[in-house]
Amino acid sequence: MSSAKQNHAILSERLKSCDVRPTPQREVVLKVILGKRDHPTADEIFARVKSSMPTISLATVYNCLDTLVQCGLIRQVNLERAPTRYCPNLDQHAHFHDEATGEIHDVHLPEDLMIRLKEVLPAGFDARSIDLTFRGKAAPTLTHGTN
């Protein structure tokens, strides 16, 4: 079995396990996002996807993204007043938004902190997800985390 075929099988399996139809469009959108550890916008994803599937439409990219987020196969990140970005990293992590460069860095969150975070919620609040975003500036010289 070729590597490409195997890849397809893996992606297809992932989609099926979420009870969604493993269409070629969904697979290629997912593949593109997982293929790079950055935080692309819908437009950027559209551009990347078009090189392997030139006929795909932007509406489909949006549809696929919605589906993938629903499934929990990717995450959604919102910066203030900027187009939504998507994140392939499903490990528990926070985002650091470098205000000087606009870059987003993933920051690992230890398990005990996650537990501590959930403890601050009053009784009756049931959190399905937690978004933690830092804003500020990062030291320019060192290379930290992913962008």
Partner DNA sequence: TTCTTATTTGGAATAATTCTAATTCCTACT
Partner DNA sequence: AGTAGGAATTAGAATTATTCCAAATAAGAA
Question: Which residues would be at the binding site for a copy of itself (CB under 8 A)?
Answer: 76, 78-81, 84, 94, 96, 99, 105, 107-110, 113, 116-117, 120-139, 142, 144-145
In 10 A of CB 32, how many CB atoms?
Answer: 24
State the binding partner of 13 from a copy of itself, DNA, none, CB within 5 to 8 A by kind.
none
Is residue 32 at the binding interface for DNA, with CB under 7 A as the rule? no
Single residue of 31, 38, 58, 117 touching DNA by CB under 7 A: 58
Single residue of 7, 84, 89, 92 touching DNA by CB under 7 A: 84
Single residue of 36, 83, 116, 130 touching DNA by CB under 7 A: 83
Residues 37/146, Cβ–Cβ less than 8 Å: yes
User: What mask of x and - would describe binding to DNA in positions 111 to 130, judged by CB under 7 A?
Assistant: --------------------
If the CB atoms of residues 13 and 121 are measured against DNA, the closer one turns out to be 13
Is residue 56 at the binding interface for DNA, with CB under 7 A as the rule? yes
Residues 23/60, Cβ–Cβ less than 8 Å: no
What is the DSSP code (8-state) at residue 79?
-
Q: Give me the amino acid identity at 80.
A: E
Is residue 22 at the binding interface for DNA, with CB under 7 A as the rule? yes
CA distances from 103 to 31, 79, 107 (A): 22, 11, 13
State the binding partner of 75 from a copy of itself, DNA, none, CB within 5 to 8 A by kind.
none
Q: Long-range contacts made by residues 139-146, C-beta under 8 angstroms, separation at least 24?
A: 140/100, 144/105, 145/96, 145/105, 145/106, 145/107, 145/108, 146/37, 146/38, 146/89, 146/105, 146/106
